Structure formats: structure tokens, C-alpha cells
Amino acid sequence: MQRRNAIKNLSLAFGGLVSLPSWASGWTPESIGTTANLTFDDEALLGEIVETIIPETSTPGAKSLKVHQFALRMINDCYGEAAQKNLKDGLKATEALAQQNYQKSFTTLDSNQKKALFNQMLSSSDTTSKTFANTIKRLTIQGYTNSEFYMVNVIKFNMAPGFYHGCVPVKA
């Protein structure tokens, strides 16, 4: 009887592992859904932070691809309470650092000031700021490179490479 339960649990675990990559790669903002654990201002601040990491050029930036929603979903679903607390504390620290250095909100800074502030957080001795900045940077890069736009338009990902052409004349 224990063998049946073990096989059942093993198959459920395997099914979960198989379905995880389909959710985490090739995502769209619609497939992620909403995350309601942050205020609108905090979500806008996170959007500006990810836009600082990958700005919009001739290709869409991280904010226009809604990578910040991907980062929020990953932190809520895959990370523990410590990372969720660090996200909220890091957003507060970002705002406080912007007020301290420029007497403005982070969202109103120009792009050079935002880059300088984010780089200051990456090299900070404060573990909260440094952990927050590294986590958001890693999730931004992961979210951007796994987005549908990047997979289709940049790396030309083809789900099933190679084609079968059945009725093709063979040259001898």
C-alpha cells in the first residue's frame, strides 16, 4: 500500500516539475495575472527600477514588457517570506535613498540619476539594499529573456525546430 502512495506522490511531483518551465518561460503579462500585495505606488516604483536595469531603446524596455509583474509573481510564489519582506523594505530604502541624495522621488529622477542610485544600492554595505538590488536585477534579466517578445523577436525561438515536407520531389 505504501508503494502506491509513493508512486502517486512521485508522479504528482514529476508533473509539477514538468509544468513549471511552461509557466516560467515564454510568459506574457496576461498569463501572470495580478499581484495585489503592493500598493499602486510601490508597483510603479518597481516598474521604474526594472526600466532602469533594461531601458527602452529600439526594443521595448522591461517596464513596457511588464517585467516588474513577473518579478512580483516570482517573489510571491517562489520565494519565502524573507524575500517578500526584503522586497517591501528594499522599495522603502530606494525611496529613502532617492530623497536623501536628490530630494526627489525615484520615479521623478532622470535616467542617469536612477542608474547612479541603483548602482549605489548594488555596492551598498546595507544588506537590505544590496540583496533587494541583486534580486530585482536577477529577476529582471530572467523575466526579460524569458518574455514572449524576447523569445520570438530577438532569439527567434522555434518551439519545434525542423520541418517535415512530405510531398517534395527528390532530385537524384
Quick check: 67 and 143 in contact, CB under 8 A? Answer: yes
Q: Which three cell numbers stand for residue 10?
A: 512521485
- Does residue 104 fall inside a structural domain? yes
- Reported as a single tens digit per residue, the pLDDT across 116-133 is 999 999 999 989 999 999
- Does residue 121 fall inside a structural domain? yes
- Does residue 9 fall inside a structural domain? no
The pLDDT of residue 48: 94
Report pTM.
Answer: 0.72
Using CA of residue 142, residue 62, residue 75, residue 34, what is the dihedral sign?
negative
Model confidence band, residue 13 (pLDDT cutoffs 50, 70, 90): low
- Does residue 107 fall inside a structural domain? yes
pLDDT of 90 over the 90 cut: yes
| Residue 101 lies in domain | 30-154
Mean local confidence (pLDDT), 21-45: 67
- Does residue 110 fall inside a structural domain? yes
- Does residue 5 fall inside a structural domain? no
Q: How many domains does the chain have?
A: 1
Q: Provide the 3-class DSSP secondary structure of residue 27.
A: strand
Mean local confidence (pLDDT), 129-148: 94
Cβ neighbours of residue 48 closer than 8 Å, sequence gap 6 or more? 63, 106, 107, 114
- Reported as a single tens digit per residue, the pLDDT across 34-75 is 555 778 888 999 999 999 999 999 999 999 999 999 999 999
Q: Which three cell numbers stand for residue 100?
A: 536623501
Quick check: 62 and 70 in contact, CB under 8 A? Answer: no
- Does residue 15 fall inside a structural domain? no
